[in-house]
Amino acid sequence: MPVRRTAALVVLLGVLGAAGCSDDDTGTPTASVSSPDAPVLQPGKPGEANTALTGTAAQPKPRARPAAADVDFMQGMIVHHAQAITMVDIALAGLTDSQARSLAGRIKAEQKPEIDAMKRWLDKHGEKVPPQATNTRMTATGHHGSMPGMATRQQLLDLQKATGPAKDRQFLTLMIRHHQGALTMVADRAKSGTDDDAERLANDIGAVQSAQITAMQRIQRGLPS
C-alpha cells in the first residue's frame, strides 16, 4: 500500500479511535472546564501554518455535524468499494496477465481498510452504515444504476463466464469505468463537503484511483488482440 495512502488511513483511524475513547463516561464528577494558561497548538491544514490558541479559543469546540455531502460520500463509497472487491473476487483466479492480477490484488487490499475506516466514521457521527460494509457480495446484484461506474448484474455474470485474455480485458474495462465513477463521487463531495477527515480520505481515493486508471489503460493496451 502506498505510504501516502497508509498515512491518510492512519490519521483517520487515529481520530476515530480517539473520539471513541473520549465518549467513555465513568460517572465521576468533573470540575468545570477552565481556560488553559499555556497556548494550545492547533495544526493547520496541509500547506498552512499551525496556530497558537489561548484562553477560550483553546477550549474544545462542540463536534460539528458533517455536511450531507460528506455522509452521502462515505455511505456511497462503501457500496462502490464493495463492488470493486466483488469484481476482484470474481475475476482474480482467472486473470492471465500478471500485471492485471497484481493490480487487482492491490485494489482489494487497499479498499477493504478504507471500507472499515468509512464505517467507523459513519458510526462516530451516528449515521447509517450500508450493509455492504460487512457483506461485499450484496453488490453482485448490480442494482445500483444511479451510482456512477457501477457494473450491472449482467456485466458481472459475463465477467464470471469469460476466460483467457477476454477475462483480463473485461475486468480492466469494468474496473476503469468503476474507478472513473469513484472520481465523479470524489468531485461531487468536494462541492459542498465540510468534514476534514472525509476530505482527506476522498482526496486520497481520487489520487490513487487516478493513477490506477492510467496503469490499467496501459495494461489493456498490451493485451493480445
Domains of the chain: 68-221 (1.20.1260.10)
Q: How open is the CA angle 140-217-170, to the nearest 5 degrees? A: 35
pLDDT given for residue 3 in this prediction: 46
Per-residue pLDDT of the chain (225 residues; tens, 9 = 90+): 454 555 556 556 555 655 554 444 444 444 444 445 566 666 666 666 777 766 655 555 556 789 999 999 999 999 999 999 999 999 999 999 999 999 999 999 999 999 999 999 999 999 999 999 998 888 766 667 689 999 999 999 999 999 999 999 999 999 999 999 999 999 999 999 999 999 999 999 999 999 999 999 999 999 997
According to DSSP, the residues that pair with 41 across neighbouring strands are 52
What CA–CA distances, in Å, run from 134 to 107, 129, 131, 201?
17, 10, 6, 20
pLDDT given for residue 6 in this prediction: 53
Running DSSP on this structure, what letter comes out for residue 57? G
The set of cell numbers assigned to 171 is: 475486468
pLDDT given for residue 55 in this prediction: 60
- Cell 450500508 identifies what position? 130
pTM score of the predicted model: 0.74
Using DSSP, state whether 52 is helix, strand or coil: strand
The set of cell numbers assigned to 142 is: 448490480
The answer to whether 84 and 178 have CB atoms below 8 angstroms apart is yes
In which element (H, E) is residue 97 found?
Answer: none
